[in-house]
Structure 1
Amino acid sequence: MILTDVLSSPSATRRPNDPARPLGSPPVPRSTAAERAQRVRFRRALSLMAMTLVVPGSAQLLAGNRRLGLAAFRTWLVLVALTVAVLVSVTVDRDLGFTMLTDPALLGVVRLVLMALAVFWAVLFMDAWRLGKPLSLGMGHRRAVVAVNGVLCFAVAGTLLTGAHLMGVQRDFIGTMSGNGIVTAATDGRYNVLLMGGDSGAGRVGLRPDSMTVASIDADTGRTVLVSLPRNMKGFPFREGSVMDEQFPDGFDADYLNGVSTWAEDRPELFGSSDEPGIDATVMAVEGITGLDVNYWAMVNLEGFKELVDAVGGVTLNVRQPIPVGGLGDDVVRYIPTGTRELDGMDTLWYARARDGSDDYSRMARQKCVMAAMASQLSPQTVVRNFSAIADASAELVQTDLPASELDTFMSLAMKAKDEKIATLSLVPPMIDTADPDIDLIQEKVDAAVQRTEEPPSPSAGAGGRRKAPTAVTGGSLGSMSDGYAANQAQDLSAAC
């Protein structure tokens, strides 16, 4: 009886190779051979797609058209080798990267290659899906394979097509940001670029340069001094021997400095085949006043400037007194409150151009503070993240005669300048009488400012070596009209703002 009970117990009937289970539990159903084969085919299908993602062509080499797989694999190897070589070269020589980013022909080739890769890789994914024999899978596995393949296909092709789009945007951006000027060499080791702010206000035809600043940049170090000229200067000379010098041998008495452009635009016959007589005449005036040889010019549309600020996500500025939004012939609608604030494009524009309750020289100081903030806060990461928006904004922002072949040089200088202090010199009262400017004194001050930027920076250098005035007038810079504004004469512009 005891033997019979033992033999009839569940533990006695369990075979040695049975999976362990609690006594008395129902037997675990075994998967059929067909189900195990389904799982193997499913894993194989997923593996083929993963192989295509990691090493394009490997799925075809393993289970498909070997000629197609070999072509894809060799192409992949060449592209990987080229990518590694470019990354190493750019790491060693950063200027090479700028050259590549500003070469329209190379950008066009890369764009076409990325588009072709997107199509070719998508074809490889579809072929890998076919090699996985989806019709032999169960419905659940079949749907999973289709979903995974679709995600991989669209992700890879979408990424490559996005890259191709960015190459096209960059190529258009280069066309927009470059002009057809003549390539000129640095003068005494410096590039001098005339930056003009064009204000297309009511009642004006075209852009009139109301803001004029020469950025004098050391060709080796990128150290920069911003030499600003007031729009209301009178009685100044033009570059000796120029067309405007012949018209006004005793100095310009027809208008203020910002009226030179309009005067010249009304008399294009004096400038031969020039497409920009107004800007050409303004360059002649700036060279006559400062004694600097201007290499290139750029005209910034102040109305389009706000789009650029919005494209980079705003700019942080120190607002020392409430800044009026509006004015200049219209009503003031509100004020930008004081404090360190991140301003959008509209408020940054008014920070730079507001004049109600202020003066031209305070406005010039604030404009320099905006330049300093943009230069220090606009990082390569920000540019990459907002590249399309920046490119779209720049299309309406800048006119220039800078040739495309020189863009890489100035991109490299801009990166060097980020690590350097920006010095400023404004030819304004109380140093300069704008109604009767002392040109010899101006050129002496310009030479001294340029020389200081070529000397090793002093740790104790402050805002021009003088005590900052304790007051501020609607500005981001300490100072007053009678004492001068710190940002208008500074060895470190950021400290003065």
Structure 2
Amino acid sequence: MSAVSPVRFPDSSSPDVMRRRAWWLVALNLLIPGSAQLIAGNRRLGKVGVSCTFIVWGLIVVGLLLYWLWPVAVYTLAANPTVLAVIQVVLVVLVVIWIIFTLDTLRLVRLVKVRPTARAFVAALAVVGLVGTAGVASYGAVVAGSARSAITTIFDSGEYTPPVDGRYNILLLGGDAGPDRVGLRPDSISVASVDAQTGATVLIGIPRNSEQIRFVKGSPLYGPFPQGYNCGDPCLINYLYTYGEEHPDLYPDAEKHGSLPGIEAMRDAAEGVLGLKVQYFVLIDMKGFSDLIDALGGITIDVPERTPLAAEVPGAKPFAWVEAGKQHLGGNTALWYARSRFNTTDYSRMSRQRDVQEAILREFTPANVLLKFQGVAEAGKQVVKTDIPSVMLGLFVDLASKSRKLPVTRLELVPPDFNPAHPDYDKIAQAVAAAIAKSTPTPQP
């Protein structure tokens, strides 16, 4: 008699034999779906289950090795909508397989023949195993679907773009539309300059009240403003968004490339101010980004001084305060902290906005995003617009992972070092170059 015969042909009159057999079958089904059928049931069905199990294990091992040797490849695959659709289908199939094999295993166990005191425990182990396997796969399918939806909604379908002078420069705009404003005006303007190898990041803040903005030759705005942005009255940089929207003929291909004329005008302004080539933009709705912060579970900021929160209306009084020290802020409080103008200057406000931006980036850890992915993805679709192509996501996720290990170098083009009303562009260029040099990690001997 073969070694498997007692399992395939058990002595059903012995509750102890059936109990031991039940534990073995349920445990085997949990570890290798299909193995219970292979040794005690339909062998053809068991071969299908075991083959699928080993294929999945093999893919997991290959994925882990690839992540260890070449993480950017894993990030790139995980950000590809087609790959995500395939993953979603595979996970759904796995859920169905686990359900089928668990139910068939319980049939093979023949609970009525198992000692009564063990029946409930055997059944419970099978159910817990099913929830632990099929449940995880179901959640994975939902995450893959949410990721695919978010990526196709938020990100562009453009092609890979190489870095310029070894860096990716990304324009970050905080959009501030409101009933008291004509259209949207960027309330927060900054450029993140990221080293394409190390992820070292320089965050450069441009005051929204900057004037006399210059444009490089070749910019559509160089024609109407060859001597810089001057319209008689003080012309602030953030009004260029509106100007671009009012003159869409300047940027006829903007929407075709996932942008807007107003955003392109702001991109040209940032390039003129900083002397950097800006490859991409990210526009965040300042009214809606509180949802993104809440989806991440809030942010932690080291508040330098007690800060009043108040509306920007005559006679307004603080309705709340953010105390000095490390504070964990929810979305609504973080939004007020970034925007409050009560008894402060625009430049202090800029610094707070940059603190919030850095705090958000710190929360974008793989574990945090994975656990809260659905909320993060849904919030992202509501508050973020960008022309970053999905094919670049893997690279940028890898750079973001590297950048979290390094300090962010900040450069604020504010008084007293800089005069937004009369920009000294040579001085700005020198400061930008110095900040980039400072952020570059020193090679280890």
Name the structure 1 match of 2:265. 281
CA contact (8 A) 1:217 1:225 kept: yes
SS in 2 for 1:217: strand
Query: Is 1:390 the equivalent of 2:380?
Result: no
Question: Structure 1 stretch 419-428 or stretch 330-339: which is displaced more?
Answer: 330-339
Question: Structure 1 stretch 69-78 or stretch 292-301: which is displaced more?
Answer: 69-78
CA contact (8 A) 1:323 1:350 kept: no
Shift, 1:259, TM fit: 0.2
Q: Please tell me the residue identity of whatever aligns with 1:100.
A: L
CA contact (8 A) 1:299 1:400 kept: yes
Q: Please tell me the residue identity of whatever aligns with 1:356.
A: F
Name the structure 1 match of 2:163. 186
Name the structure 2 match of 1:316. 300
Shift, 1:239, TM fit: 2.4
CA distance in 1, matches of 2:219, 2:298: 42
Alpha-carbon displacement from aligned partner over 1:439-497 (angstroms, at most 9, x marks no partner): 23222322232233336299xxxxxxxxxxxxxxxxxxxxxxxxxxxxxxxxxxxxxxx
CA distance in 2, matches of 1:407, 1:80: 26
Q: Please tell me the residue identity of whatever aligns with 2:49.
A: A
Give the counterpart of 2:63 among 79, 82, 86: 86
Query: Is 1:436 the equivalent of 2:422?
Result: yes
Q: Please tell me the residue identity of whatever aligns with 1:389.
A: G
Distance verdict in 2 for CA 1:205–1:399, change over 3 Å = farther
Distance verdict in 2 for CA 1:148–1:377, change over 3 Å = closer
Query: Is 1:165 the equivalent of 2:139?
Result: no
Give the counterpart of 2:409 among 423, 439, 446: 423
CA contact (8 A) 1:179 1:399 kept: no
Shift, 1:120, TM fit: 1.1
Q: Please tell me the residue identity of whatever aligns with 1:441.
A: K
Name the structure 2 match of 1:22. none
CA contact (8 A) 2:184 2:241 kept: no
Give the counterpart of 1:117 among 79, 87, 94: 94
* Mapping of residues 57-456 of structure 1, within 5 Å: 57-136=34-113, 146-181=123-158, 183-204=160-181, 206-254=183-231, 255-275=235-255, 276-329=260-313, 331=316, 332-376=318-362, 378-454=364-440, 456=442
CA contact (8 A) 1:224 1:422 kept: yes
CA distance in 1, matches of 2:33, 2:363: 41
Shift, 1:422, TM fit: 1.4
CA distance in 2, matches of 1:213, 1:273: 24
CA contact (8 A) 1:225 1:424 kept: yes
CA contact (8 A) 1:60 1:66 kept: yes
Distance verdict in 2 for CA 1:93–1:273, change over 3 Å = closer
CA distance in 2, matches of 1:288, 1:277: 17
Alpha-carbon displacement from aligned partner over 1:142-180 (angstroms, at most 9, x marks no partner): 666555444433442222111111111222232244124
CA distance in 2, matches of 1:316, 1:79: 39
CA contact (8 A) 1:317 1:373 kept: yes
CA distance in 2, matches of 1:311, 1:455: 33
CA distance in 2, matches of 1:307, 1:457: 40
Distance verdict in 2 for CA 1:455–1:97, change over 3 Å = closer
Shift, 1:58, TM fit: 1.3
Q: Please tell me the residue identity of whatever aligns with 2:174.
A: G
CA contact (8 A) 1:198 1:301 kept: yes
Distance verdict in 2 for CA 1:243–1:300, change over 3 Å = same
Alpha-carbon displacement from aligned partner over 1:297-318 (angstroms, at most 9, x marks no partner): 1001112222222222222222
Supply the RMSD in Å over aligned alpha carbons.
2.4
SS in 2 for 1:396: helix
CA contact (8 A) 2:184 2:242 kept: no
CA distance in 2, matches of 1:155, 1:219: 40
Distance verdict in 2 for CA 1:403–1:66, change over 3 Å = same
Larger Rg over CA atoms: 1
SS in 2 for 1:324: strand
Shift, 1:137, TM fit: 5.5
CA distance in 2, matches of 1:372, 1:210: 17
RCO (CA 8 Å, sep 6+): is it higher in 1 or 2?
2
Name the structure 1 match of 2:8. none
CA distance in 2, matches of 1:424, 1:154: 48
Aligned length: 425
How does the TM-score come out when normalised to structure 1?
Answer: 0.80
CA distance in 2, matches of 1:150, 1:183: 47
Question: Structure 1 stretch 231-240 or stretch 441-450: which is displaced more?
Answer: 441-450
CA contact (8 A) 1:238 1:244 kept: yes
Distance verdict in 2 for CA 1:403–1:142, change over 3 Å = same
Q: Please tell me the residue identity of whatever aligns with 1:54.
A: L
CA distance in 2, matches of 1:127, 1:390: 38
Distance verdict in 2 for CA 1:136–1:444, change over 3 Å = closer
CA distance in 2, matches of 1:190, 1:273: 25
Q: Please tell me the residue identity of whatever aligns with 1:362.
A: S
SS in 2 for 1:415: helix
Distance verdict in 2 for CA 1:289–1:412, change over 3 Å = same
Shift, 1:340, TM fit: 2.1
CA distance in 2, matches of 1:83, 1:339: 44
Distance verdict in 2 for CA 1:235–1:109, change over 3 Å = same
Distance verdict in 2 for CA 1:176–1:61, change over 3 Å = same
